[in-house]
Amino acid sequence: MNRRDLIKGSVAVAALLPVASAWAQGAAASVAKPAIVMANAFARTKIDLSGEWHVSIDPYRAGLVDAVGDPSKPRHWRYADVHVEDAEVKNPGTFFEQDMRRSDTVNLPGSWNAQRPEWRYYDGLMWYQRVLEAKPEAGKRAFLYFEASNYTTHVYLNGKKLGVHVGGFTPFAFEVTEVLKDGENRVTLGVDSEHDANAVPPVITDWDIYGGVTRPIRFITTPLTYVDDAFVRLGRDGIIRASVALNGPSAAGQKVTLTIKGLKVLTATTDANGRAELSVKAPKSLKL
């Protein structure tokens, strides 16, 4: 067996995880949650949200701030969890600037600069919305996973803001376990392509930033505690090293098993932060 076979070989990371139902109730709001990596997202249980999304251009960013920079008024909220048409029928005096349910549609993933001629040079905020049919599951957690969105992305589910991601070339995820409803869930995104000298690319550049959701979005479910990240590499010193990170209420003190085809099985126990490091010397017989 040579080193090339080793690199191509399958790597399996398995964690023996007890069930902890208390996590389904959610951690206290004051406790900071670790960043979500969601490695190997493609192999997890998922729903691909590619396809038709409602869209609304927002050049004045009225959905986020008003004309003087104060928080926007409810009538401008594209992300509000309200059925605008029903609200208008119930109270004719109700006024909304936008109704995402009745707006135009585009297909995602895709850059708006390439979708319509009038958006070719648009650099600003765009809103997207679609329905996700799902339901909470006992003993499971749920996430929205984004492969890439350019450049700053505000993410909402059922009117609740999940968070903001800055950067157009890296994947990111937000947990939705506590916000998910049984049935129709409304996902809203505010994607802002405006950039400055600290962005990639900066203001003066020879290539376009291509605003929008440029790669697929997925709805992913996991066990209460799951393998969030795993990284295996071969060093110049001939040592194969692996780093594993668990995420969840039972992440600490777990037995982690690493299997590399052609080598012995390695085991370790995660620390208080749910992390473990494993290593083994590569056989001298392995050659590139």
Q: What is the C-alpha separation between 279 and 287, in angstroms, rounded?
A: 19
pTM of this structure: 0.84
pLDDT in tens, 199-240: 777 888 887 779 999 999 999 999 999 999 999 999 999 999
- All structural domains of the chain with their residue ranges: 3-24+224-281, 41-223
pLDDT in tens, 102-156: 999 999 999 999 999 999 999 999 999 999 999 999 999 999 999 999 999 999 9
Backbone φ and ψ of 118, nearest 5°: -70, -15
Q: What is the C-alpha separation between 229 and 222, in angstroms, rounded?
A: 13
Nearest to 247 by CA among 276, 216, 269, 226: 226
CATH topology of domain 41-223: Jelly Rolls (2.60.120)
pLDDT of the residue at 67: 84
3-state secondary structure of 252: coil
pLDDT in tens, 264-286: 889 999 999 999 999 999 887 76
Nearest to 177 by CA among 15, 23, 31, 20: 23
The two tokens of residue 89 are 């029928």
